[in-house]
């Protein structure tokens, strides 16, 4: 599983064609999840699939350069905090948990003048949080199932 395949064609197709297409489709599913089939969970699974494909075709060290295990844990935790934080912000603003309409997103509208309402911005933040949590969790699960355990990783 950690040995690099020697096929130049395989590396070109995976790096230049398949993985970018999978990642682009995952972002499309995330952005259009409220208007079409898809959403945060599906986008996270697709993005994790792209990472897993690149790790399968590359060697273990090269495939982990950008997304190491501690980074994947941070990504998953950040996604969970985005989800829970949006719910808590809604409760602090006087609404129910995940009642996006009561959260004041005026600062986001000043930064990104996209003309979305409070509810749409809240839904998108929730979807991004779910995407990050699913992506990090699935990549970690596959990483731990396919690679040998490193005892130094848990000590530090």
Read off the pLDDT of residues 16-41 as tens digits, 9 standing for 90 and up: 899 899 999 999 999 887 777 778 89
In which residue ranges of the chain is pLDDT below 70? 1-5, 59-63, 104-117, 148-156
In tens, the pLDDT along 136-146 reads: 999 999 888 88
Neighbours of 62 (CB within 10 A): 12
DSSP, res 16:
I
Measured CA to CA, the distance from residue 9 to residue 13 in angstroms comes to: 6
Tell me how far apart the terminal alpha carbons of the chain are, to the nearest angstrom: 26
Per-residue burial over 6-28, b if 16 or more Cβ lie within 10 Å, else e, is: eeeeeeeebeeebbeebbebbee
């Amino acid at each position: 599983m950690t040995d690099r395949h020697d096929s130049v064609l395989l590396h070109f197709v995976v790096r230049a064609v398949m993985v970018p297409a999978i990642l682009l489709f995952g972002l499309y599913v995330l952005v259009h999840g409220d208007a079409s089939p898809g959403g945060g969970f599906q986008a996270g699974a697709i993005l994790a699939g792209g990472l897993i494909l690149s790790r399968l075709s590359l060697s273990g060290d090269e495939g982990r350069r950008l997304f190491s295990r501690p980074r994947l844990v941070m990504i998953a935790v950040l996604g969970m905090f985005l989800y829970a934080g949006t719910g808590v912000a809604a409760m602090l603003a006087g609404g129910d948990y995940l009642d996006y309409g009561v959260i004041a997103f005026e600062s986001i509208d000043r930064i990104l003048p996209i003309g979305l309402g409070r509810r749409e911005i809240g839904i998108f933040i929730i979807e991004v949080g779910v995407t990050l949590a699913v992506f990090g969790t699935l990549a970690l699960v596959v990483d731990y199932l396919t690679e040998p355990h490193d005892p130094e990783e848990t000590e530090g």
